[in-house]
Amino acid sequence: MIILMFGPPGAGKGTQAKLIEDSRGFVQLSTGDMLRAAVAEGTALGKKAKTIMDAGKLVDDETMIGIIDERMEEPDCAKGVILDGFPRTVAQAEGLDELLARKGKKIDHVIELTVDDQELFNRIETRVAQTPESERRADDNAETLKKRLDVYHEQTAPLLPYYEKKGVLRKVDGMQDIDTVTASINSILG
């Protein structure tokens, strides 16, 4: 099974992906983690990505799709994968569709966690208040969240109609408690 998780930063994608991973034996594939692993392993694509990143540029879609392709071939991905952080553009979505078609696979579910922007700011404030200063994430502040939300709304959210047309987009109210969101996602996955 191939699942894509969408939603603004702070919506709970990582939390839900981890719960799916633990309960179903799927693997969460984070593009950042995959890039770092490919570079550390020194694969051909990892070396190419390192050169690009060392130049301060974004890794191109072709290289990123190649890294995803390599990672999905690993035995631990056999049951299913949850893609988190990819695709971010329609071009990447089309590239992913082509990759999956070559493998005889398809995206089974695109799950969008919908959360009101103001609620995301409230969550950040609560997390900062409840977390000791030494354990706080550097990006846990309103200014960084605003920038990340702007990027999400401008670049990633336009992908949602692409998947809606394909009939695989499912919306889940991410403003509910964690257990209720998990139950909603589990009913989607069957």
Specify whether 127 is catalytic: yes
First to last CA, the chain: 11
Q: How far apart are CA 86 and CA 29, in angstroms?
A: 9
50, 148, 170, 171: which one is catalytic? 148
72 and 35 in contact (C-beta within 8 Å)? Answer: no
Specify whether 24 is catalytic: no
79, 103, 137, 147: which one is catalytic? 137
Cα–Cα separations (whole angstroms), residue 77 to 19, 35, 70: 16, 17, 11
127, 146, 147, 166: which one is catalytic? 127
Single out the residue of 59, 70, 57, 4 nearest to residue 32, CA to CA: 59
Q: How far apart are CA 71 and CA 131, in angstroms?
A: 34
Alpha carbons within 13 A on the beta-carbon side of 116: 5
Specify whether 166 is catalytic: no
Specify whether 36 is catalytic: no
Specify whether 13 is catalytic: yes
Catalytic residues: 13, 88, 127, 137, 148
